[in-house]
Structures are given as C-alpha cells and as structure tokens.
Structure 1
Amino acid sequence: MDINTLCVHSGNKDHSNGAVSMPIYQSATFSHLGVGKSTGYDYSRLANPTRTELETIITKLEYGYDAMAFSTGMAAIVAVMDMFSPGDHIIASDDLYGGSYRFFNNISNKNGLRFDFVDTSNVDNVKKHISKDTKAIFVETPSNPMMHVSDIGLLSELGKENNILVIVDNTFLTPYFMNPIHLGANIVIHSGTKYLGGHNDTLAGFIIVDSEELSEKLRFIYKTVGACLSPFDSWLLIRGIKTLAIRMEKQQANAKVIAEWLTKHPKIKNVNYIGLETHPGFDISKKQGRGFGAMISFETDLEETAVKLLENVQIILYAESLGGVETLITYPMLQTHADVPQEEREKLGINEKFLRLSVGIEDYEDLIYDLETALK
C-alpha cells in the first residue's frame, strides 16, 4: 500500500458501530470478563485502545515490529536510555537537539552512561570511537540544527559488525520521507509533537523497534515508568497523521523555494537545507530518503540582522518547536540549544547570527515577502 494511503487507512479502526473516526477511550481502567479473563485492556498505563490504534499506524508507517507512544519525544528518549547499564558507552551525533544533549550530559551521565559526541556524517569518526563497551550509535539525520546528513546504511552495517544498536531520530523527515528500519536501523525515535501531530496542539513521542526482543525490553520500561500518551492526545495524533502526506509535500515545496531565495539574499551568509544540490549530504539524502523535508537553518551577516529578523516577522512566528502548519523561526542559541555550552555551540556554528526555520503550509510568496520585509 502506498504511504499516502497508509497515512489515512493504516490503523485497525473500530468499525463495530460504523464510526469512521477512531473513538477516544477516555478510561483509566477496564473491567474484567472474569477471573483470569481480559479484553486485552486492563489499565491505560499498560495499553489503551485509542493508543493501540495510533501505535499500529506508526508501526506500519515505519515498517517496524512494534511502536510505543509516549507523552513527549524526550520521554521516548529517556525510555531508550533506560535500556542501558552503568558503564555502557554510546556514540552520538555531535549536532543534536539541545534537549537530547542536556539529558545525555546530565541525567544519563549521572546514571553511569558514557557518551562520545562525534560527527556521524563521517563513518570513520564513528569507527574510531567504538570500544568494547559501546552499546549504541545515536543519530539525528538531518541533524538539529546544522542539517548534517548521516548515512544510516553504512552506520547500520558498522553496528551489525560490532553488535551495536543503531538508533535514529527521524523527527525531521518523518516516515513519509524516510524509513530508517528499512536502511538497517534497530530503533527509530520521533517527537510526535512535530510533523506527525502537525498542528502545534499536543505533545507526543514515539519509539519504533525492529524486533520482538527490543519490543519486550522497551514495553517493560514503558509500563513501569508510565510515560504513555493519553487517549485524547493519541486521537489528536491519529487525526494529524491523516494529513501527513499532503502537509509534508506542501512544506517541502515551500522550503525548496525559500532556501533558494535565502541563498541569493545579500544579508544571508550560509544556508543549510538538505534539498539544495550544494549541500554536502544531498546525494546521501537522495539515496536513503524520498524527500528533503522542510527544515532550514541559516546564518545572517550580523547579530543585529538576526535580531531584527526575529522581531519584525509578521506571518512567521518567533517560537520554539517545528513541524506544524505554521512557519516558525527559532533562535537556537537562546532557545533549543541554550543548555549547550557556548564553546561547543560555536564550534558547531550555532552562534548569535544563526537561525532555524521550520517552513509551514502558507503561500510561499507571502513567507518570502515577510522575510524580505523583516530583513530590510
């Protein structure tokens, strides 16, 4: 079945009364049919019919073995890290969402995990850091916010050779544009708050796994920690995913035009968009995905230009997050990456002139006019 159809029709659905929309089972607990008898639902922390519908959809979209829906994307990452033990070593992309970096360097380190942050777009960098204690490679591709592209296939081969899990955060491209499990990854993570929800109205996270073994480990953590997605929020995600395909196509089309426009503006120094043929990861992106997404980052000529742009846009909203139908612009050094030490931020290129743009579904000419006016 084509992914456009899967977005609309990939769930089990509840057709017992002819409902086209999956009901919201707003129940914390479920009655038993008798001693030792269950409908399959006992308590909503363990499972809920609305959430199961959503997890079925995500499993099919990512071609996984199982999927779990969490209260946030960070809750999903926390659950994955809970699989590891003190002394375990993890290789992670050096350009990561600031919340992931904060969690790894504070909570995970406190719990005894060790991290090396490397440029995972260069497989040789990853090879150099593998040790007998290495248990996983954690990758964002494209990365947040520098848009570095890692070759999931090559990293997955490296993982299999060394019995190392490959974990891919697929938030930026979504299962509509890329399927990391097809490329050899073991675990896929999403912030469902972003493109999967698509409307900036709820928080959610997902873990998708490629095997029964990983499913059992993570479902145990899932039910024990209890950071599961509520029935109503599950329903919002089901509704959001129905329009994922058309949103992603429109947002990508807008992003391509805007990225090309930014490259020609005299006050813009560098533009990072993986759909530009000049991007160093362009060929890898074409090889491992079906599209380039709608995330752009860029550097202005001066700090004053960046601040002026943020304070003068009218249609574009100066706000954190990404992936919704509204175009959002973010100042990473003060927002998403504020907890990354200044020296490390600047080494990556995240400075006072650096901005990130999540392109929405508005008319691209209006968005360009908004940027052009704010830059004057």
Structure 2
Amino acid sequence: MTDSSAHYGFATRAIHAGQDPDPTTGSVIPPIHATSTYAQDGVGGMRGGYEYSRTGNPTRAALQECLASLEGGRHARAFASGMGATDAALRAMLRPGDHILIPNDAYGGTFRLIDKVLGHWGVEHTPVELSDVDAVRAAVRPNTKVIWIETPTNPLLNIADIAGLSQIAHSAGALLVVDNTFASPYLQSPLGLGADVVMHSTTKYIGGHSDVVGGALITSDDELDAQFGFLQNGAGAVASPFDSWLTLRGIKTLELRMEKHSDNAELVVQALLKHPKVKSVLYPGLPEHPGHELASKQMRRFGGMISFTVHGGEQAALDVCARTKLFTLAESLGGVESLIEHPGKMTHASTEGSLLEVPSDLVRVSVGIEAGDDLVADLVTALG
C-alpha cells in the first residue's frame, strides 16, 4: 500500500500501509531485518538503497511509511524514544539565540530538555498557557522560531487550538510542533489542522503494550524531513528493527484500543465525579471542561487519560496511588493495562520549583482496556 491509498480508512491503513507481504517469501507480516550492514553489488551498488542499519533498515522504513500514512504526512522518522525524537526536532529547528514557546504544563521530560540542555546552548524559552490564544500571541518574540504544543497536555489535560496557533506561528515566521502522544493519530490529526510537525512517543498508545520504547516525527515539509533524517542518522538515536516491528504490531489494533480506552475513561470519569473524596476531575470529555468545545471539534473522542485532585492534599493523593490493585503504580501511559501515578513525585518531578510545577494533590491515570466496571471498583476502593 502506498500513500496514493490515503482514501482507505484508518484501520485499513494501520494494518496495510508500509506492510505489503514480503516479496521474497510471501510473509504476510514484514520480517525483522536484524542486520547491521548490507552486501553491495560493487562499490556504491546498494540493493534497495540500504548500506548500514543506522542509516536505513527495511523494518524501520515500514514503520515510518505506516506512521506517515496514519498522520496524513508525506514523511516520518522513527527514533529510539520520544525524547530522542523531541531532541532531533528541536536541534533541527533551533539555533543559539532562538526562542521557543512551550506549554505552562508541559511534560516534565520536554521541559527538562529545553530548560537544562538547550538552555545551556543559548535557546530561550517561555512557558505560556496555550489554551489562551491571546496569551500565546503576546508571548511571541521576534526570535521565536517554534511553538511547541501538547493537546491534551500532560498532566493537566488542557486543550490547545491547533489551527489557531498554527496561524499565529506562521504569521511570526515560526513552526508549530504538536506532541500528539496523548491523542494518538486515531483521535487527532494535527497536520490537517495546520501543524508543521507531529511528534509521538510511540512508547505510548501507538505501541500500546508497554513492551517497546520509541518516538517519531511526522511532517509533509521536505526540507524539515531532510533535517530530521540527517540527525536521525548523524546522531544515531534510531529505532531498532525489533522495536520497529513491535511498534508496527501494536499499530494494527490502534483504532480498536483507542475506542476501548475512551469507553473505559468515560466510565471512570463518571465514578470520580460522584466520589466525595475527589475534589476535581480533569477530562476534556466533560462539558464543563474549558477546552471541551474545542476538543469536540479537533478530536474524534477524548481518550484514555484522566487527572484528578483529591481532598486531603499530597498525602491523600499518594495514598490513592498506593492502594489500587488493577491500576499499577508506574510511569508511562497508553498501554493495554491501567496505570496510576503521582505526577509531582514521578513524571513531573523535574518541574518542581518552576512555573510548570504541578499540584501536589494531583493523580494521573492511564485507563487501560480491562473490564470498565472492574477499573471503577478498583479506584473507588482506593479512594476509600
């Protein structure tokens, strides 16, 4: 299947894009090309364009073709982790003295990279409430080169107007990058709304089984893709053949999983709203969520991520995390199993003392695809 088959439905492309039967054996599933190098037919006589697996590998190429198809882009690059993809994107687009806008509740790893690594390199950054278009416009500087957004954000689940922010970015001569990890390509299509680049931690919903780490950059800009490809090869943070194969395997059920994640999340949200020990529930599917109307327009459904605050402060939040049985206390998200964590002490510990510090009574859950009633009962018991 090629990009000319973009008229096929999402589930069809997830199973077939980049994954034609192996021409040599007829294998329905693309093989794992576990090789570091490739025989050449004379000097410069590469077979199929492959010479060394850091530079190119058929299994990784299959994954990249599939990811590009699912996001509606012309190009995709697969990396060894989401942070590897983020690092390549930022190094391709920013230079010393440049400025980047980031969410004021960004993922802790993204903030750490920009603040602690790129900051030493001379890149300036400003955290801004991305749900406030006027605030974003006011924060743009003459040297702003990138607006980096998450929508929904991690962990406060705020919603950003992708189309509106793309107009602001482009009028300032900047690029808009969307971290689409929480939504997945099934729930949201940023390139179609004006984004220049989509980033994924494919570790999460795309892989979907908590057994592989990876990242990806997708774009339709030929020049940007060439820069991403140069850094992918030059810096070497590439997705391995086995990791690429595992990610492709996970992609095949992405549509089914995202529907079930969303179904279960809606059940959990309703239970949390009724519980007396829950102070607030953060979920864009709720009509009272400030980003609900916007999310309804740019997302297919509202996903499997929920955050909530509890009465009793930090210790009460930590107690809830310690009491669950089906929700495993662990970092990460997007797997078939349900996870629970305390962002302030875990995934977002690097934001402590900064403008991005998260509330100490906040709990984040990644709702899996187990029986929904079982998940509700587990959380209700843990809340006491």
Shorter-chain TM range is over 0.9
| Equivalent in the alignment of 2:273 | 263
Alpha-carbon distance, 1:129 to partner: 1.5
Are residues 1:365 and 2:369 paired?
Answer: no
| Equivalent in the alignment of 1:11 | 18
Uncovered stretches (5+) of structure 2, i.e. residues with no partner = 1-7
Whether the aligned pair in 1 keeps the contact of 2:169 and 2:175 (CA below 8 Å) is yes
Whether the aligned pair in 2 keeps the contact of 1:91 and 1:137 (CA below 8 Å) is yes
For 2:42 and 2:214, the matched residues in 1 are separated by: 34
Whether the aligned pair in 2 keeps the contact of 1:263 and 1:270 (CA below 8 Å) is yes
TM, length-normalised to structure 2: 0.95
For 1:22 and 1:290, the matched residues in 2 are separated by: 30
Whether the aligned pair in 2 keeps the contact of 1:333 and 1:345 (CA below 8 Å) is no
Alpha-carbon distance, 1:13 to partner: 2.4
For 1:373 and 1:56, the matched residues in 2 are separated by: 45
TM, length-normalised to structure 1: 0.97
Are residues 1:296 and 2:303 paired?
Answer: no
For 2:377 and 2:69, the matched residues in 1 are separated by: 40
Alpha-carbon distance, 1:341 to partner: 2.4
Are residues 1:331 and 2:342 paired?
Answer: yes
Structure 1 vs Structure 2 CA RMSD:
1.1
Q: 1:245 aligns with which of 252, 255, 268?
A: 255
Equivalent residues in 2 for 1:180-199, closer than 5 Å: 180-199=190-209
| Equivalent in the alignment of 2:137 | 127
Instruction: Give 1:58's aligned amino acid.
Output: L
Are residues 1:156 and 2:166 paired?
Answer: yes
| Equivalent in the alignment of 2:45 | 37
Alpha-carbon distance, 1:35 to partner: 2.4
Are residues 1:66 and 2:75 paired?
Answer: yes
Q: Deviations over 1:113-163 (max 9, x none)?
A: 110110011111111111221101000000000001000000111122121
Whether the aligned pair in 2 keeps the contact of 1:306 and 1:354 (CA below 8 Å) is yes
Whether the aligned pair in 2 keeps the contact of 1:152 and 1:185 (CA below 8 Å) is yes
| Equivalent in the alignment of 1:277 | 287
Instruction: Give 1:151's aligned amino acid.
Output: D
Q: Secondary structure at the match of 2:166?
A: helix
Q: Deviations over 1:87-130 (max 9, x none)?
A: 01111111111011111110010111110110011111111111
Uncovered stretches (5+) of structure 1, i.e. residues with no partner = none
Instruction: Give 1:166's aligned amino acid.
Output: L
| Equivalent in the alignment of 2:63 | 54
Are residues 1:205 and 2:215 paired?
Answer: yes
For 2:341 and 2:315, the matched residues in 1 are separated by: 15
Are residues 1:311 and 2:318 paired?
Answer: no
Q: Secondary structure at the match of 1:344?
A: coil
> After the TM superposition, which of the residue ranges 350-359 and 190-199 deviates more from structure 2?
350-359
Alpha-carbon distance, 1:345 to partner: 4.6
